[in-house]
């Protein structure tokens, strides 16, 4: 039996492991989230751990090598479990201290609404703190208690509580039901008294049963906890549940842990603490930042004490202590202080914005959405569908919603007993569709003062009707759905106020919350027998980064892995990842954000004003320039659109024409909006007007700064390579090795731009024109003040710094989006292993080639063993065949491209019959969904087809037109004569 965490899927062999898991993962307990008992059957909860006392229990003898999770089952031992298992996740360990550490690390953020469970599987107790949990363990789960036979166990008739405890503890448990206004019957024999009032029940006990003992309890209340004796040949070891002993066990375990994983987990824990302080303890961001700054300042001021302590310890072991050694040790200790590291100036949690960014990225948050109504009124709505997905991703909540108790026919116990519910096919489905709504008005100001009714708010709450009433009786189980001012309902009416909520409820009724996955399965079912067994063959999922698709708990990825297997490889669309990386670069670089704003202002001016575009063309004609329509850069656009907008903006002569027209519009336009945009754009130009190319521009004498335009040329060169990479990723025939190789090339060329501009690039031409113009001015005797260096250096100091920062930011975010973390999962490791099929990276020596990729291939075949076994693939033959396949490619097809190589070996005889069946890994590699751009093209095509004038097209017609547009031949290849023949 295992010790299981009551918050996650962690489990361990020993109670101490589970206790430490609680400390590490669920350790932020409050009074609203007591710590549960480690035992499954125990329902006790505790607010603190101040009452810990020493205890012991039977445990499995750990192996001599000290491995954390090596199990040594002893079937003869039946007193205690041979594994300590987390109740929240799949973790298990041999020792209780390891399980407890897992709880601390992974599930340590318990609150009043989420208490810590007992480490024992059979105990249902929960606790508000780790110390209270350890008190419970030392009291009820010690060795002597485990070995006792004939101990009295109490059974609660209102819940699942079954525990060997004292009479006083049992009545304490009954008092909890009384506080919830539940009807409690007298537990003594020959008494039919029952009450839901705490004082009445207590008075009855004091009056009637003051001298009674446990022997007079009803038979269904008490039972003997008979435990089998240990066999004489059973080898057991005593394990004290002393806190100090548990901590010592954990220290030994820490030596074998991944330090980087621990650092990431502690960073997560610190962020969770800050989130708890803001949301549960209602501490403002300003106050929280002040607390962080003061703690860091106090720690830095205590450095002399740290140096003194280190020097004193070193003196006890050696005579001569070098101050440099003391300083080095103190520096290492300071640098590894978790709180100081993450909250210092460059830490990931140092500011409110960084904390917000980290929390939104690492935690499952459902943010409210504000809807603006008429007359500047608004309503705030918390999306109920997203919140349902987040709640039901919790295993414990999901299990409670799936368990339905039978309803007695002779009386009503819940809404399930009504005739309407029983007759409704919709309500009887096994779905999470029963949302009970509540509405309440409340004042946020003194209701007796002058502000009465001015700040009155209306709130709508909901709770999940699938849950048993005993789980819905607490305040924390009620969720906020909608909030607005009470006067807004009077002005706008319930129809407008409740519109977003009603929309989600209708969707919940019609499709449920797991709509995308259900729709996907329905689409495969519609294809008939040819795709009836698609779940047995699917190996990957490609989608954008939306949580509904790739969410770790309630997303399509998680649901597909649960049903098809953990071998499913989730792919975040690479073109989307590239877009997100460049958006991060834009946020990091103020000058790039300034460039985006300028391009957007120019596009907006000419896109919404045909007259302005006509005037621009007239100016261009006077300058002898063919003016192009400016392109937009914001919205749902791929990176090539941004590159095209930059090329248009810097087209010879177009820059000058736009500048003069903006200057004209700023002073003469009667349209206030156009004039305002032109003023902003003109202000940009006045500050950035550089040397304009000699043959196409007019030299302006009052030029001050050319850095911005030089930066524009530099960014154009950067985006030129990135746009080509984006176009490559958007191709339907892109495969993984091709994408990886192109990414490496992009990173190398981008990093090289720091040392020198791109050869024949925009920046090189711009700098050459500037140097030419400078020489012409010197020959003519003109002088100008430039913010570039006087010599022939690449750029001025300011431009160099901006370029360097931009390149570093670009490389950083590209690596962050495309490189997997050090703590990789099996799926991410499997993706990396596919690089063995990149024949460009194979060694030239044949002896080395024979052994190349053997380990990676073994991992791939093991990872996909489930789907390969389903389809009758012999993995041992595949390993043997890989060697001959490599030698064949190296000897005959080394010059082939990626696509042509695998097309040849997998589709042409005799290679396909020889390798395709025996070696399926290349086939898997070729179908990995690297890009989901084809879906975006389908959406764009749908918008073009189903316009306002064609809004009544049937879905089948729209689908056929989309398929023709996306996958069919081009319009130039269309032959209308064939249509005439059909008629």
**Which residues lie below 8 Å from residue 49, measured CB to CB, with a gap of 6+?**
35, 129, 130, 131, 132, 133, 134, 135, 243
Give percent above pLDDT 90 in the chain.
2
pLDDT digit string, tens, across residues 912-953: 665 544 567 777 888 888 888 888 888 788 878 877 667 677
Q: What is the per-residue pLDDT for 232?
A: 37
**Which stretches of 790-920 are DSSP H helices?**
797-818, 826-833, 846-851, 854-863, 865-870, 875-892, 898-907, 911
Query: How large is the average pLDDT for residues 955-975?
Result: 80
Q: Residue 623: which of 663, 588, 647, 658 has the closest Cα?
A: 658
Q: What is the per-residue pLDDT for 245?
A: 45
pLDDT digit string, tens, across residues 780-803: 765 544 444 334 454 467 788 888
pLDDT tier for residue 74 given thresholds of 50, 70 and 90: very low
Q: Residue 860: which of 917, 946, 924 has the closest Cα?
A: 924
Q: What is the per-residue pLDDT for 377?
A: 87
pLDDT digit string, tens, across residues 533-544: 888 888 888 888
The C-alpha angle with vertex 717 and arms to 712 and 718, in degrees rounded to 5, equals 95
Return the structure tokens found at 155: 């059974």
Q: What is the per-residue pLDDT for 538?
A: 87
More confident residue, 237 or 118: 118
- The CA-atom distances, in angstroms, between 176 and each of 43, 134, 187, 220 are 11, 21, 15, 20
Other C-beta atoms lying within 10 Å of the C-beta of residue 485: 17
Q: What is the per-residue pLDDT for 381?
A: 93
pLDDT tier for residue 174 given thresholds of 50, 70 and 90: confident
Query: How large is the average pLDDT for residues 605-634?
Result: 84
As a whole number of angstroms, the distance between CA 507 and CA 22 comes to: 39
What SS3 class is residue 605? helix
Q: What is the per-residue pLDDT for 395?
A: 64
pLDDT tier for residue 822 given thresholds of 50, 70 and 90: very low
pLDDT digit string, tens, across residues 413-472: 666 677 777 776 556 554 555 678 889 888 877 666 666 667 888 999 988 777 777 666
Q: Pick the range with the lowest mean pLDDT from 15-29, 627-641, 683-697.
A: 683-697
Q: Residue 239: which of 229, 249, 230, 231 has the closest Cα?
A: 249
Query: How large is the average pLDDT for residues 372-385?
Result: 88
Answer whether residue 866 shows pLDDT above 70: yes
Return the structure tokens found at 890: 């190296």
Return the structure tokens found at 584: 């991060």
- What b-and-e string marks burial along 797-825, b requiring 16 or more CB atoms within 10 Å of the CB? ebbeebbebbbebbbebbeebbeeeeeee
Query: How large is the average pLDDT for residues 601-613?
Result: 83
What SS3 class is residue 850? helix
Residue 246 near residue 100, CB atoms below 8 Å: yes
Q: What is the per-residue pLDDT for 56?
A: 28
Answer whether residue 698 shows pLDDT above 70: no
Answer whether residue 636 shows pLDDT above 60: no
Determine which helix (DSSP H) or strand (DSSP E) holds 301, and give its type and residue range: helix 285-301
pLDDT digit string, tens, across residues 349-362: 989 888 888 888 88
Q: Residue 486: which of 435, 436, 439 has the closest Cα?
A: 439
More confident residue, 672 or 480: 480
Q: Pick the range with the lowest mean pLDDT from 12-26, 55-69, 147-161, 694-708.
A: 55-69
What does the DSSP assignment read for 217-257? Answer: B-TTTEEEE--PPPPTT---EEEE--HHHHHHHHHHHHTTS
As a whole number of angstroms, the distance between CA 949 and CA 952 comes to: 8
More confident residue, 198 or 396: 198
Query: How large is the average pLDDT for residues 648-661?
Result: 80
- The CA-atom distances, in angstroms, between 871 and each of 538, 710, 879 are 11, 59, 17
Q: What is the per-residue pLDDT for 379?
A: 92
Residue 22 near residue 5, CB atoms below 8 Å: yes
Q: Residue 94: which of 76, 73, 71 has the closest Cα?
A: 71
Answer whether residue 475 shows pLDDT above 70: no
Q: What is the per-residue pLDDT for 411?
A: 63
Strand 194-195 vs strand 378-381: parallel, antiparallel, or unpaired?
unpaired
Answer whether residue 380 shows pLDDT above 90: yes
Answer whether residue 669 shows pLDDT above 60: no
Query: How large is the average pLDDT for residues 460-488?
Result: 80
Return the structure tokens found at 415: 């809404």
Q: What is the per-residue pLDDT for 282?
A: 85
Residue 141 near residue 57, CB atoms below 8 Å: yes
- The CA-atom distances, in angstroms, between 120 and each of 12, 14, 20, 136, 639 are 10, 9, 13, 11, 55
More confident residue, 320 or 83: 320
pLDDT digit string, tens, across residues 830-861: 878 887 877 777 888 877 888 888 888 888 88
As a whole number of angstroms, the distance between CA 467 and CA 622 comes to: 75
User: Given the structure tokens 């004609």, which residue do they identify?
Assistant: 621
Q: What is the per-residue pLDDT for 213?
A: 66
Answer whether residue 300 shows pLDDT above 80: yes
As a whole number of angstroms, the distance between CA 706 and CA 695 comes to: 18
Beta strands, E only, 426-475: 435-443, 456-464
Residue 635 near residue 654, CB atoms below 8 Å: no
Q: What is the per-residue pLDDT for 484?
A: 92
pLDDT tier for residue 255 given thresholds of 50, 70 and 90: very low
Out of 89-98, 227-236, 547-556, the most confident range is 89-98
pLDDT tier for residue 600 given thresholds of 50, 70 and 90: confident
Give percent above pLDDT 70 in the chain.
71
What SS3 class is residue 608? coil
Give me Rg for the CA atoms of the chain: 35
More confident residue, 648 or 132: 648
More confident residue, 735 or 143: 735
Q: What is the per-residue pLDDT for 290?
A: 92
**Which stretches of 624-761 are DSSP H helices?**
639-649, 654-668, 672-688, 707-729, 736-752
The rounded mean pLDDT for the chain is 74
């Amino acid at each position: 039996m295992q010790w299981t965490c009551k918050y996650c899927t962690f489990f361990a062999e020993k109670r101490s492991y589970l206790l430490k898991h609680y400390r590490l993962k669920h350790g932020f307990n409050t009074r609203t989230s007591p710590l549960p008992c480690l035992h499954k059957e125990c329902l006790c909860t505790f607010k603190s751990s101040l009452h810990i006392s020493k205890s012991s229990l039977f445990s499995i003898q750990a192996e001599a090598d000290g491995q954390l999770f090596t199990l040594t089952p002893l079937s003869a031992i039946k007193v205690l479990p041979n594994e300590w298992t987390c109740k929240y996740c799949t973790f298990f360990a041999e020792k209780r201290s390891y399980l407890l550490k897992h709880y601390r690390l992974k599930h340590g953020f318990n609150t009043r609404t989420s208490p810590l469970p007992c480490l024992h599987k059979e105990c249902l107790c929960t606790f508000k703190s780790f110390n209270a949990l350890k008190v419970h363990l030392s009291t009820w789960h010690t060795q002597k208690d485990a070995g006792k036979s004939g101990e009295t166990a109490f059974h609660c008739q209102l819940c699942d509580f079954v525990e060997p405890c004292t009479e006083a503890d049992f009545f304490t448990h009954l008092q909890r039901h009384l506080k919830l206004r539940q009807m409690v019957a007298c537990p003594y024999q020959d008494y039919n008294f029952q009450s839901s009032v705490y004082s009445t029940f207590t008075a009855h006990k004091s009056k009637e049963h003051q001298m009674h003992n446990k022997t007079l309890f009803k038979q269904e209340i008490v039972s003997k906890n008979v435990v089998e004796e240990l066999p004489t040949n059973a080898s057991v070891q005593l394990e004290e549940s002393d806190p100090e002993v548990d901590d010592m066990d954990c220290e030994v375990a820490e030596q074998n842990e991944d330090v980087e994983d621990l650092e990431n987990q502690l960073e997560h824990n610190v962020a969770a603490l800050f989130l708890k302080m803001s949301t549960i303890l209602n501490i403002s961001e300003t106050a929280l930042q002040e607390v962080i700054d003061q703690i860091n300042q106090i720690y830095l001021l205590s450095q002399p004490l740290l140096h003194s302590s280190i020097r004193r310890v070193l003196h006890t072991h050696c005579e001569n202590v070098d101050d440099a050694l003391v300083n080095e040790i103190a520096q290492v200790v300071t640098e590894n202080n978790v709180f100081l590291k993450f909250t210092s100036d460059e830490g990931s949690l140092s500011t409110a914005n960084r904390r917000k960014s980290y929390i939104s990225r690492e935690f499952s948050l459902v943010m409210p959405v504000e809807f603006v109504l008429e007359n500047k009124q608004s309503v705030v709505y918390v999306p109920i569908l997203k919140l349902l997905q987040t709640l039901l991703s919790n295993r414990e909540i999901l299990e409670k919603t799936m368990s339905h108790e039978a309803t007695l026919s002779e009386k009503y116990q819940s809404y399930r007993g009504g005739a309407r519910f029983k007759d409704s096919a919709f309500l009887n489905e096994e779905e999470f569709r029963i949302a009970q709504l509540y509405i309440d008005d409340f004042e946020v100001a003194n209701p007796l003062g002058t502000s009465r009714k001015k700040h009155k708010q209306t709130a709508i709450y909901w709770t999940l009707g699938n849950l048993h009433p005993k789980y819905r009786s607490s305040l924390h189980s009620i969720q906020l759905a909608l909030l607005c001012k009470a006067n807004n309902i009077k002005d706008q009416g319930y129809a407008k106020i409740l519109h977003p909520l009603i929309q989600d409820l209708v969707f919940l009724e019609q499709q449920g919350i797991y709509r995308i996955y259900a729709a996907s399965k329905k689409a495969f079912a519609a294809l008939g027998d040819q795709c009836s067994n698609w779940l047995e063959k699917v190996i990957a999922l490609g989608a954008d980064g939306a949580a509904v698709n790739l969410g770790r708990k309630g997303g399509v990825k998680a649901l597909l892995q649960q049903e098809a297997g953990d071998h499913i490889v989730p792919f975040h669309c690479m073109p989307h990842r590239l877009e997100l990386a460049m958006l991060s670069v834009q946020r990091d670089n103020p000058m790039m954000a300034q460039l985006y704003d300028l391009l957007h202002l120019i596009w907006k001016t000419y896109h919404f004003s045909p007259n302005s575009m006509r005037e621009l063309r007239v100016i261009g004609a006077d300058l002898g320039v063919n003016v192009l329509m400016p392109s937009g850069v914001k919205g749902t656009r791929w990176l090539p659109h941004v590159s095209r907008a930059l090329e248009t903006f810097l087209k010879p002569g177009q820059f000058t024409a736009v500048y003069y027209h903006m200057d004209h519009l700023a002073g003469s336009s009667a349209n206030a909006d156009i004039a305002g945009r032109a003023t902003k754009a003109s202000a940009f130009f006045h500050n950035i007007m550089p040397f304009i190319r000699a043959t196409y521009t007019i030299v302006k004498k009052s030029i001050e700064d050319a850095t911005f335009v030089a930066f524009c040329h530099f960014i154009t060169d950067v985006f030129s390579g990135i746009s080509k990479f984006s176009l490559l990723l958007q191709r339907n025939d892109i495969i993984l090795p091709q994408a990886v190789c192109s990414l490496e090339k992009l990173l190398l060329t981008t990093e090289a731009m720091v040392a020198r501009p791109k050869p024949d690039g925009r920046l090189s031409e711009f700098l050459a024109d500037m140097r030419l113009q400078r020489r012409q001015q010197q020959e003519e005797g003109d002088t100008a003040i430039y913010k570039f260096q006087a010599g022939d250096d690449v750029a001025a100091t300011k431009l160099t710094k901006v370029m360097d920062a931009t390149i570093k930011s670009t490389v950083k975010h590209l690596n962050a989006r495309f490189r997997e973390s050090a703590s990789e999962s099996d799926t991410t490791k499997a993706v990396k292993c596919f690089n063995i099929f990149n024949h460009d990276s194979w060694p030239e020596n044949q002896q080395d080639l024979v052994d190349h990729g053997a380990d990676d291939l073994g991992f791939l075949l093991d990872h996909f063993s489930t789907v390969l076994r389903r389809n009758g693939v012999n993995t041992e033959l595949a390993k043997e065949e890989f060697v001959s396949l490599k030698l064949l490619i190296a000897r005959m097809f080394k010059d082939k491209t990626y696509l042509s190589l695998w097309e040849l070996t997998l589709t042409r005889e005799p290679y396909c019959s020889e390798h395709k069946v025996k070696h399926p890994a290349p086939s898997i590699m070729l179908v990995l969904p690297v890009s989901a751009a084809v879906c975006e093209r389908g959406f764009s095509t749908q918008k073009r087809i189903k316009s306002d004038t064609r809004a009544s097209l049937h879905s089948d017609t729209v689908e056929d037109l989309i398929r023709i547009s996306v996958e069919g031949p081009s319009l130039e290849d269309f032959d209308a004569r064939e249509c005439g023949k059909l008629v």
